[in-house]
DNA sequence: CTGCAACTTCAAGCCGACTTGAAGTCAAGC
DNA sequence: GCTTGACTTCAAGTCGGCTTGAAGTTGCAG
């Protein structure tokens, strides 16, 4: 009850608990992935909430989302309050399907690889399945996503 | 028999068939992922073999390998000849397990997410499973891998 | 009140994986 | 034999996701 005491984390604490460098956390804040209040002196104080957000972002990266995409997903959640179960599950559901897709992708890849070995055709190079997204030879400038596929 | 005729590809042909930009193929060659002979005039001619190698590299990227790592895996294959089934399957097997691990990872992630929603604990942020590789706050300089985990 | 670790901002650097552009050369079809 | 498009090299740029460093400020333990 009353104004909370110990649930404002310094960036160092958040770093320790999330495993991310403080520089990364500042970067995340800059991108709007997490938010902080400031002390009178200008230092950041994060709500515990931020821990969840950071964790979400890291998990999202694991399944191939960019920080921007992760941010978009998080946009559905309140910044200052803990999300309700409903809010949270809405967000979670969207990227759960993303995970499923990704698993399916990998499984196809593996099975096909096995198939090629099994049958001895060794046709990987010319096999359509391995080149599923076909021509991308002429895309755009700038960095490509690691895996432009999807 | 005799010196082959139509199994030397120009970089443009290789590009068309692999879906990669010619600039990317040159880059791959520079990294030693693929190899070419040169015409009298200095233009590249790739063996069909290169198609397989490129496909392997792309597939390897999909499961999270860097180009260097992909190259290391390919190092087990002959540069100039088609690999034997044995050679190929040796290479393939190593990264097949990589796929399996990755699938397992994703499955854990998904299941855990579901669990958190189901039980309403919403503890994602503090949940050890989401932060499996713990402290990495002080690593090194330079770019981090997208997913330093693993 | 002091000292020191932890914080602040800002600019610059870096890595991987390429792309772009300039300036020039090759090869093959008419 | 010429033209034209595909090729060549090289240097520089780009993008995401941070890290590093400099120079200065805060906040808490003693």
Q: Alpha-carbon distance B114 to A85, whole Å?
A: 12
B106-140 pLDDT, tens per residue?
Answer: 887 777 776 554 444 444 444 434 444 333 333 33
Whether residues A146 and B99 touch (CB distance < 8 A) is answered with no
Q: Alpha-carbon distance A146 to B47, whole Å?
A: 26
Sign of the dihedral through C-alpha B137, B140, B144, B147: negative
A111-147 pLDDT, tens per residue?
Answer: 777 655 444 444 544 443 444 433 333 333 333 333 4
Whether residues B149 and A62 touch (CB distance < 8 A) is answered with yes
Q: Which nucleotides of chain D have an atom under 7 angstroms from any protein CB?
A: 6-9, 14-21, 25-27
Cβ of B100 < 7 Å from strand D?
Answer: no
Ramachandran angles phi, psi of B123, nearest 5°: -95, 15
Per-residue confidence (pLDDT) for residue B6, from 0 to 100: 62
Shortest Cα–Cα distance, B43 to chain A (Å) = 20
Give the CATH fold of the A8-130 domain. Multidrug-efflux Transporter Regulator; Chain: A; Domain 2 (1.10.1660)
Whether residues A124 and B48 touch (CB distance < 8 A) is answered with no
Q: Which residue of B has its CA nearest to A120?
A: B85
Q: Whole-angstrom distance between the N-terminal and C-terminal Cα of chain A? A: 48
Sheet holding B37-38, edge to edge: B8-9, B44-47, B37-38
Whether A3 and chain B come into contact, CB under 8 Å, resolves to no
Per-residue confidence (pLDDT) for residue A141, from 0 to 100: 38
ipTM (interface predicted TM): 0.72
A51-89 pLDDT, tens per residue?
Answer: 989 988 888 888 778 999 889 888 878 776 777 777 777
Q: Alpha-carbon distance B106 to B101, whole Å?
A: 9
Ramachandran angles phi, psi of B30, nearest 5°: -60, -35
Contact residues, chain B, for A117 at CB < 8 Å: 85, 88-89, 92
Residue that the structure tokens 């540069």 belong to = B79
Structure tokens at B109: 């992630």
The answer to whether the beta carbons of residues B118 and A125 sit under 8 Å apart is: no
Q: Alpha-carbon distance A15 to A50, whole Å?
A: 11
Shortest Cα–Cα distance, B63 to chain A (Å) = 8
What are the structural domain ranges in chain B? 97-132
Contact residues, chain B, for A62 at CB < 8 Å: 105-106, 109, 147, 149
Please give residues of chain A from 59 to 98 whose alpha-adjacent beta carbon (CB) lies under 7 Å from any atom of strand D: 61, 66-68
- The closest alpha carbon to A13, from A55, A59, A39, A44, belongs to A44
Ramachandran angles phi, psi of B128, nearest 5°: -55, -35
Mean pLDDT of B14-36: 96
Whether residues A130 and B55 touch (CB distance < 8 A) is answered with yes
């Amino acid at each position: 009850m009353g104004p909370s005491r110990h649930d404002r984390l310094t960036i160092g604490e958040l770093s320790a608990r999330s495993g991310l460098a403080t520089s990364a956390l500042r970067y995340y804040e800059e991108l709007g992935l997490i938010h902080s209040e400031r002390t009178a002196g200008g230092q950041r104080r994060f709500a515990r909430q931020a821990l969840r957000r950071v964790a979400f972002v890291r998990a999202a990266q694991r399944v191939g989302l960019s920080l921007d995409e992760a941010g978009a997903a998080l946009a559905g959640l309140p910044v200052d309050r803990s999300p309700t179960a409903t809010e949270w599950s809405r967000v979670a559901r969207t990227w759960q399907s993303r995970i499923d897709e990704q698993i399916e992708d990998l499984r196809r890849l593996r099975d096909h690889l096995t198939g090629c070995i099994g049958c001895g055709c060794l046709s990987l190079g010319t096999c359509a399945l391995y080149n599923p997204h076909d021509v991308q030879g002429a895309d755009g400038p700038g960095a490509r996503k690691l895996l432009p596929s999807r």
